Structure 1
């Protein structure tokens, strides 16, 4: 389970360190930075999938994603005595992402390549530092794997062992030295991050794949767009918690039940509700009903991930369904660490009524995203690896 998340110089997240619990609720007004926090976490996950530089390129490159304000905001700027203005840069360009978990901590520092030798890819960011450590925060004594530029060394007792000297500047060490013998910590952490699951856009329009029968195989993990809903539902019925699945349907739609049809290896979903003489196919369901069934399938996965992130799960749902969705999320948090981004008051209230819910309320202050009520003494201890 992640205990701390840290981001520096990513869009409005100039410097943010937040504690995490098993069930995390991220809220805030429009423009407060909820989406930036979500995207930063997705970017961090890309380090283990070999695509962190490509992910930055899709966002416009490092120059577009860096904090756009001044390097330092003085007290006189904060009080309004002088306007917000740029100053001469004294620190190198750096976008930093990191987290600490129950087992390991990890941090990555991305910057610009040197101007020499010239290259057509001079705007591609480089990985300047990476580090893996044991414990809640980085110290010189608990570093296990240390990367500086192209060289990686691994702690070997009281000394260090160099395991690579020519790493590509645009690829994380997760994709280059993850080896169970040379660097087992890299391998273990990479596989853990690869298990993170993000759901942010279930389609429910009339052309949505979830509305139509699909070729199906055993599906313990619902796809990000929900195209394999029927196969995932049948997988839960065969190897998952069938009782919890049926109870989730009845909680949201009293008296209703869902069944799966198969024909020539194609799977379809049928929804039977009290008062109807025939079941409805997924093609006939309302957007809200279909989307809710997708959430039931995602949150009852027989293969719970270490971290599941739900971005605005209330989209297209009727407000009366939100308390049931909150109960669904709370039950899923018993098996996985949950991260929910929402601005629906009814869902927020339902989740916050749970004692274990950790709320992260965001606000903007001089264009910086901050956590409401968090003072300097409330921040978890965090230290970035130096270049």
Structure 2
């Protein structure tokens, strides 16, 4: 299980270390930085796909994603004695750092401006990887490092009496070592971390408009995982019906819509989802369902997956749902958290209250302090320990 998520220098986040549980709920007012935490997790996942550079480019590049405030915020500023002002340049290079610590492995990446580029290039603002590290356990220590990357050089750490083994010295500035130098024989931990992170699933605002993929019939294949856009909804639900023997789908459907019955019809290889509701003479097709009903069915397919990932991140799952459906959604999320680690980003108090009652739930309320996203109530003594590998 992932125990800690750490973020440094991203938008409203100057330095943030979050403890995670089997179920974690990130909350806070609008503008408190919930979306920035969610985006940071997606950037971490993009590293394992070697797509973090293009993802940052879509966000406006490094200049628009770096922490926008001063390097430090003095006590007098926080107490209101002085106004917020930028400090003199300390000479520290601009840096965006992302990392996590788990039971088995920890990983971090440090991104900054590339150096040594030809004068005529127009790619000067492209981010480059300055440091990557994989270590054993949740906390980085030099002695626990297993694979270490500085700029273009990647070393495999060895015993104290042996010299480190060079894996490569020609790694591209914009390439992650996870995707470019996986060596299953000499460095199996690189492959393990890469595949674990690649398996993270993110669900963010399913489409439910008239042209949404989930409303149209689709060619169906065995689907233990719901696509991020919900296009294989019918096939995913049918897979759950055939694989799971615990009646979880029927129970969750009855919890939200008593007396309803779900079925999947096949016509010329195309799957059509229908829902028969109590009191109606005929079943309704996916095209006829309300936005809230369709979205709840999408969450059924996502959370009851027969192939649970190591981590599932849900961004504002309450969108388009009536408040009366939120307790049922909370119970569905709790069921999913028994099989996989779940992070929920939400501002729906009904959903939050239902989730935080669970013993395995870790509430993570965020707030803004002088423009900086911080964990409410965090102190030096209750914040998880974290250490970044130096450049």
Within 5 A, what are the aligned runs for 1:99-248? 99-114=100-115, 116-118=117-119, 119-158=121-160, 159=162, 160-241=164-245, 243-248=247-252
> Residue in 1 aligned with 2:62?
62
Please report how far the alpha carbon of residue 79 of structure 1 lies from its aligned counterpart in structure 2 after TM superposition.
Answer: 2.0
Please report how far the alpha carbon of residue 44 of structure 1 lies from its aligned counterpart in structure 2 after TM superposition.
Answer: 0.8
> Residue in 1 aligned with 2:9?
9
2:374 is the counterpart of 1:337 = no
Structure 2: distance between partners of 1:79 and 1:294: 47
> Residue in 1 aligned with 2:81?
81
1:221-250 C-alpha deviation (Å, 9 max, x unpaired):
101111110011111122234611111111
1:352-385 C-alpha deviation (Å, 9 max, x unpaired):
1212111000000000001111111111111000
My pick for the range that moved more, 191-200 or 151-160, is 151-160
Aligned partners of 1:113 and 1:126 also within 8 Å:
yes
Aligned residues: 387
> Residue in 1 aligned with 2:272?
268
- In structure 2, the gaps of 5 or more residues are none
Classify the secondary structure of the residue corresponding to 2:211: coil
1:66-91 C-alpha deviation (Å, 9 max, x unpaired):
00111121122222222111122211
Aligned partners of 2:224 and 2:306 also within 8 Å:
yes
Q: TM-score, normalised by structure 1?
A: 0.98
C-alpha root-mean-square deviation of aligned residues, in Å?
1.0
Structure 1: distance between partners of 2:342 and 2:291: 24
Classify the secondary structure of the residue corresponding to 1:15: strand
Structure 2: distance between partners of 1:181 and 1:220: 30
2:375 is the counterpart of 1:374 = no
Structure 2: distance between partners of 1:117 and 1:284: 58
Structure 2: distance between partners of 1:61 and 1:211: 35
Aligned partners of 2:205 and 2:319 also within 8 Å:
no
2:253 is the counterpart of 1:252 = no
> Residue in 2 aligned with 1:94?
95
Deviation beyond 6 Å, 4+ runs, structure 1: none
Please report how far the alpha carbon of residue 115 of structure 1 lies from its aligned counterpart in structure 2 after TM superposition.
Answer: 5.6
Aligned partners of 1:71 and 1:89 also within 8 Å:
no
1:164-200 C-alpha deviation (Å, 9 max, x unpaired):
0010010110111112113211101000000000000
